[in-house]
């Protein structure tokens, strides 16, 4: 029987992350051959992976990386089965190593096929499934390129990337604040201008139906009914509709007995309320149209313009469990 030294066991452990006993057993089985021992551990990982293939990798860690030039960013989620593993230091270190590799690739498929210490990333995932005893998977991969890219990561559960059209003064502050907005508010598109008209129409019908159903129950309980909006996006508010809204607002002021000479001071506020009540889809889904989380008196678009001649070119978001 080949004698296995503590140094050999430690070397294998450093290379694979496997436990001391697993490393010793692998070296014994491989008769002291280091490369064969790695193969033994890999095969063990394959067996564990096959047994846990139907498990859900709903926990894990969200990690982002930005290149030195701040022009490319990547965000990934390394998924596992339990929150306990997801918070483990070694697991987080592995996730960061994966992200360091991921930034060099444009898609998840190429990333999984990339080299990781003599094996592919996909093979490393299988190996570490055997080491950790839980299914590991890359459950999200997003990449963003722009003249200036920044990121924000929320407790390793959500990672967001934001691209700017140019690097302006205090670009780091701007991009971090907007990335924080993306992480916390979950926008799915940049502007209402990106919406397909058919999508807006179907969403309008669905949302009105929900409110009308709620109002039936509220009415039965004798409670105040919810406002039923005619519209849900700025995409629907044509100049004609805005003009109609202004006429309605003027009629309300007249009915309230407000002197006509002060209407100009009151109308802007009423129109802001009219637009707000009829753009709920934009406020939920469109980054630039959302109220800014650090100052809800302005939207994100207005916050961005306060930094000068710069715009948001795009954003990406990944989240553990999604």
User: pLDDT digits over 238-258, tens only?
Assistant: 999 999 999 999 998 888 888
Task: State the pLDDT at residue 5.
Answer: 82
Q: How much is the pLDDT for 22?
A: 75
Residue 290: what pLDDT? 93
Q: What global pTM score does this model have?
A: 0.78
Q: pLDDT at position 239, please?
A: 94
Instruction: Please say whether the structural domain 59-185 has been given the CATH code 3.40.50.1000.
Output: no
Q: How far, in Å, CA of 158 to CA of 184, rounded? A: 8
CATH number for the domain running over 6-51: 1.10.8.10
* Closest to 43 measured CA to CA, from 136, 133, 127: 127
CA distance 249 to 264: 11
Query: Comparing 97-111, 162-176, 179-193, 248-262, which segment has the lowest mean pLDDT?
Result: 248-262
End-to-end CA distance of the chain: give it in Å, rounded.
Answer: 50
d(CA 182, CA 240): 33
Q: Could you tell me how many residues make up the chain?
A: 322
- 15 vs 264 pLDDT, higher one: 264
Residue found by looking up tokens 């991969």 in the block: 141
Cβ-proximal residues to 123 (8 Å cutoff; 6+ apart), any chain: 42, 116
Structural contact between residues 154 and 181, judged by C-beta atoms closer than 8 angstroms? no
Across the chain, mean pLDDT equals: 89
Residue with tokens 């916390």: 184
Q: Is the dihedral of CA 284, 285, 287, 289 positive or negative?
A: negative
Provide the percentage of residues in the chain whose pLDDT is more than 70.
95
The residue ranges of every structural domain in the chain are 6-51, 59-185, 192-319
pLDDT at 177 over 90: yes
- Residues 28-58 pLDDT 10s: 887 778 878 877 777 776 666 566 666 777 8
Helix ranges, 197-262 (H):
197-220, 239-255
pLDDT digits (tens, 9 = 90+) for 154-175: 999 999 999 999 999 999 999 9
Q: Residue 96's pLDDT is what? A: 96
Determine phi and psi for 222, rounding to 5 degrees.
Answer: 75, 25
Q: Which of 67-71, 89-93, 135-139, 210-214 has the highest mean pLDDT?
A: 67-71
């Amino acid at each position: 029987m080949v004698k296995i030294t503590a140094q050999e066991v430690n070397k294998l452990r450093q290379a694979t992350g496997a436990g001391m006993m697993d490393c010793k057993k692998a070296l014994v089985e491989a008769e002291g051959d280091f490369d064969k021992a790695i193969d033994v551990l890999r095969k063990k990982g394959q067996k564990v992976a096959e047994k846990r293939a139907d498990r859900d990798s709903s926990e894990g860690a969200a990690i982002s990386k930005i290149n030195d030039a701040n022009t490319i960013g990547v965000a990934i989620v390394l998924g596992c089965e339990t929150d306990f593993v997801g918070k483990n230091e070694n697991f987080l270190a592995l996730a960061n190593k994966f992200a360091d590799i991921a930034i060099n690739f444009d898609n998840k498929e190429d990333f999984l096929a990339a080299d990781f210490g003599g094996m592919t990333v996909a093979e490393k995932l299988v190996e570490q499934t055997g080491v950790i005893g839980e299914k590991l998977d890359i459950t999200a991969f997003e990449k963003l390129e722009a003249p200036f890219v920044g990121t924000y990561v929320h407790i390793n559960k959500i990672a967001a990337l934001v691209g700017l059209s140019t690097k302006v003064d205090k670009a780091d502050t701007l991009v971090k604040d907007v990335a924080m907005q993306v992480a916390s508010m979950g926008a799915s598109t940049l502007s209402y201008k990106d919406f397909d008209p058919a999508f807006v129409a179907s969403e309008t019908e669905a949302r009105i139906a929900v409110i009308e159903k709620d109002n039936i129950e509220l009415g039965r309980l004798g409670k105040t009914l919810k406002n039923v909006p005619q519209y849900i996006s700025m995409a629907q508010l044509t100049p004609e509709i805005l003009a109609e809204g202004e006429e309605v607002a003027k009629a309300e002021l007249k009915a309230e007995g407000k002197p006509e000479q002060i209407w100009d001071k009151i109308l802007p506020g009423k129109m802001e309320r009219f637009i707000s009540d009829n753009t709920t889809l934009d406020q939920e889904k469109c980054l630039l149209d959302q109220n800014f989380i650090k100052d809800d008196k302005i939207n994100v678009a207005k916050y961005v313009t306060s930094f000068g001649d710069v715009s948001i070119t795009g954003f990406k978001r990944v989240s553990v469990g999604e």
